[in-house]
Amino acid sequence: MSLIYNFWQNLIVSGSEGGNDENKAHRSSMRTVFANRPSSVGDWRKNMTERPEIYAQKLIASDADEFAARLRPIWGNVAIDSGRGDHFDVRLASSLAGGAVTHQIQTTTGVQFRFDRQFDGYALVLLHEGGLRARIGQQERAWSAGACAILDAAQVSQWQWQAGSYDMLLVSASDITQRLSTLLEAPVTRPLMFQAEVSPKSDGVRLGGAVMQLMQSCFGDDGSRVTAMATAASIRDVAVGAFLEGLPHNYADRLLGKAPGPSPRHVRSAIEFIHAYARDSILVEDIAKAAGVSVRALQVGFATFKSTTPMAYLKRVRLEGVRNELLHSDDASVAEVAMRWGFKQLGMFAKVYRDAFGELPSQTRRIARR
């Protein structure tokens, strides 16, 4: 939650060509709905846990420097790159409901957003007009009008918008990971990765668009809240569902293969035991004993509710553990990491790893070092 709030209040804005008289008349006007608006960065940090669950803000700016000057006293270090010329035109309407955030961006000049601290979550962007170029690590990715983009916002250091109109829905990584773990009935052991571009007709995009409209309807024309606080959490849940159940990602097959309804207690106990002792040398008998059932009952439970066997589930957890270490740690060789996770035959390990992830362990390590 704090990172969501930080994201849309730590914006660094730069503009390029264009501008109009109407915007100059409303020079950097700012309309805010905030029950306990902080007067300093220190007050803001102190009040983070006390801020409202529903929040709206509208900014109309025709001068990047003035816009930044308004942000600095409250939100801390904000840097500005004015771009080419003196013209600047951007309208940003933002709303927060229960942890989900929407941004409506309209600009006739183009605008570039940078911020000190990236938002730790995922963004669905609908490009109605214009185009978006995002810097992700050392690379850039571009989308044009009519596209629907999905980004891991924590990896984006710069957002460059062409003149146009855009809608964005953001959901925190913690909310999505918690829901995913609940759906899987298991910890999320490898990074969640969404497909970078999806069809505007996909279920997730349609549902995400409906969530954005619903969030915008939470506020009156004057920015006043018209939605009950309890509704905000429901909106967030629908937004999370739009990402996990309507958009393509690397856990989608596991969610589709899951039986409806929660698994019985002995299956859940076995899963908890597997995740806790995946690095140890354990047998199916050990898992059954920890779950308090016979080996046969355990195998039937996994076949019914997980569409796999206990030992195949254990192997998958170990493979995901290896991949997570290769991606996020560089303190051991591939062989050492594999051995830590119970893979003793390295030649066979490389094969099963490639079958699971479509690449060799050494390729995963190279990706992590880029």
| DSSP secondary structure string for all residues of 322-334 | HHHHHHH--SS-H
CATH number of domain containing 286: 1.10.10.60
Are 355 and 291 contained in the same domain? yes
Are 160 and 285 contained in the same domain? no
Are 276 and 238 contained in the same domain? no
- The answer on pLDDT for 170 being more than 90 is yes
Are 41 and 86 contained in the same domain? yes
185 phi-psi bin (left φ>0, alpha ψ -120 to 50, beta other): left
- Return the DSSP state at 153: G
Would you say the C-alpha torsion 21, 22, 23, 24 has a positive or negative sign? positive
Q: What is the pLDDT of residue 229?
A: 61
Residues comprising the chain, all counted? 370
CATH number of domain containing 212: 2.60.120.10
Name the one residue in this structure whose structure tokens are 């899951």. Answer: 258
Answer with the residue of higher pLDDT: 28 or 248: 248
- The answer on pLDDT for 110 being more than 90 is no
Are 234 and 168 contained in the same domain? yes
Q: Two tokens at 226?
A: 């018209």
> Of 233, 257, 281, at which residue does a domain stop?
257
Q: Which of 329, 200, 302, 189 is nearest to 251 (CA)?
A: 189
> Of 257, 275, 296, at which residue does a domain stop?
257
Q: What are phi and psi of 178, to 5 degrees?
A: -65, -45
308-356 residue pLDDT tens: 899 999 998 899 889 888 877 777 899 999 999 999 998 899 999 988 8
Are 134 and 155 contained in the same domain? yes
Are 276 and 243 contained in the same domain? no
Q: What is the pLDDT of residue 181?
A: 82
Three-state DSSP state, 309: coil
Predicted TM-score (pTM) of the model is 0.66
Containing domain of residue 69, as a range? 1-257
Name the one residue in this structure whose structure tokens are 């006390």. Answer: 50
> Of 231, 257, 283, at which residue does a domain stop?
257
Instruction: Tell me the pLDDT of the chain averaged across its residues.
Output: 77
pLDDT-derived band at 128 (thresholds 50, 70, 90) equals very high
Are 223 and 300 contained in the same domain? no
Question: How many Å apart are CA 180 and CA 190, to the nearest integer?
Answer: 12
Identify each DSSP E strand in 184-273 by its residue range: 197-198
> Both ends of the chain: CA-CA distance in Å?
30
Are 281 and 347 contained in the same domain? yes
Residues with Cβ within 8 Å of residue 287, at least 6 apart in sequence: 270, 273, 274, 298, 310, 314
Sheet containing 156-161: give its strands across: 11-15, 111-115, 156-161, 131-136, 139-144
Name the one residue in this structure whose structure tokens are 């990402």. Answer: 243
Are 191 and 277 contained in the same domain? no
- The answer on pLDDT for 111 being more than 70 is yes
Our count of domains for the chain comes to 2
Name the one residue in this structure whose structure tokens are 């979550």. Answer: 121
Are 279 and 223 contained in the same domain? no
Are 126 and 7 contained in the same domain? yes
Q: Two tokens at 26?
A: 């409303």
Is residue 96 a contact partner of residue 57, using CB atoms and an 8 Å limit? no
Distances (CA, A) of 310 to 86, 148, 254, 321, 346: 65, 39, 15, 17, 22
185-236 residue pLDDT tens: 777 777 899 999 999 999 999 999 999 988 877 766 665 665 566 677 788 8
CB atoms within 10 A of CB 11: 21
